[in-house]
Amino acid sequence: MRLLETSLAAAMVLMATGAGTAQADETGKACAASFEKSQYLMKDGKFRAAQVDALSCSADSCPTFVREACQKVLADIDSGQPTVVFAAQDASGADLVDVRVELDGQPFVARLSAEAVPIDPGAHTLRLFHGDEPPIDQQVLVRVGEKNRLVRATFWARSKPPTPIVPDVPAGQTTRGPVWPAIVVGVGGLASIGVSIGVGVSAKSDVDHLRDTCAPHCASSTVSDVNTRVVASDVLLGVGVVAVGVAAAMYLLRSDGHEAPPVALHLTPTPSGFALAF
């Protein structure tokens, strides 16, 4: 209905400008054509193009009737024209202004500012460029009358990650393996030696007691219990010594970038207990 009224108004303008030879000049016809075109463009959602024609037919050189009609069109465009505001930041969070923007593949903004930028309603693809970094694309759906729509871009998310710092190793040297496995085994060996000493001291005390009280007629169960603890003390001592030796070997032969030769450890019984042999 609005478009029909516009067409009729444009026809009336053309008739008015063509009523006499003196009045039917080319300027009046151009103003009327711009008025009609601005209405069609606005109907199609092309607010920015419609504004250009509406401004053209609002000039003082246009007939009063056309000029007043175009001014009303400009008011409608200003009310329904959406606007966007761009904000871009770098990796440190600082604002960027040296960013250019393309709208649907066409140049749109050469450099960012704090001002709102008019945009036509509808779905658009915005592409923001900053230096040599990859551009950032954003899909937006702008609505009629939407003002100051914020479009934000952070370029640090697309920046290359920092190169990890690797310590230099002089030529002919390689890094050594961790020491914690050797420490764990060594601590276990020392604990076993400590328990062995405790059990051995207790067993020796009982042996001395039996010798002073009932030897050689002590109860067999008592003697067996003491002997068991003596043997247990020797075994724990041997295990502890072996563990400490293994820990020392693990520390000295831990990986240095080359495969370490296998190490064979042997626990050999002796008259006084056990012996560790490589």
Tell me: the pLDDT tens digits for 136-154? 999 999 999 999 999 999 9
pLDDT given for residue 214 in this prediction: 78
pLDDT tens digits, one per residue of 175-228: 567 777 878 877 887 888 888 788 778 878 877 777 778 767 777 777 788 788
- Which domains are assigned to the chain? 2-80 (no CATH), 83-156 (2.60.40.1120), 180-277 (no CATH)
Where does the pLDDT of residue 258 fall: very low under 50, low under 70, confident under 90, or very high at 90 and above? very low
> What was the pLDDT predicted at 27?
86
Position 9 scores a pLDDT of 52
User: Taking the model in full, what pTM does it have?
Assistant: 0.49
pLDDT of the residue at 8 = 44
Whether 278 shows a pLDDT value over 90: the answer reads: no
Q: What is the pLDDT of residue 110?
A: 96
The closest of 189, 181, 182 to 240, measured between CA atoms, is 189
Note the Cα 265 to chain centre separation in Å: 51
92: pLDDT confidence band, cut at 50, 70 and 90?
confident
To which H or E segment does residue 151 belong? Answer: strand 149-154
> 43-67, pLDDT tens digit by residue?
999 999 999 999 999 999 899 989 9
More confidently predicted of 145 and 240: 145
Supply the pLDDT for residue 269.
56
Backbone angles phi, psi at 135, to 5 degrees: -65, 160
Provide mean pLDDT across the span 220-241.
Answer: 80
In the predicted model, what is the mean pLDDT of residues 77-104?
Answer: 94
State pLDDT tens for residues 98-134. Answer: 999 999 999 999 999 999 999 999 999 999 999 989 9
In sequence order, the 6+-apart residues with CB closer than 8 A to the CB of 199 are 229, 232, 233, 236
Residue 77's H or E segment, with its range, is helix 64-80
Question: Can you name the residues that pair with 88 across neighbouring β-strands?
Answer: 153
Per the listing, tokens 């075994």 go with 235
Name the pLDDT band for 255 (thresholds 50, 70, 90). Answer: low
- pLDDT score for 20: 46
Stretch 248-256: mean pLDDT, rounded?
73
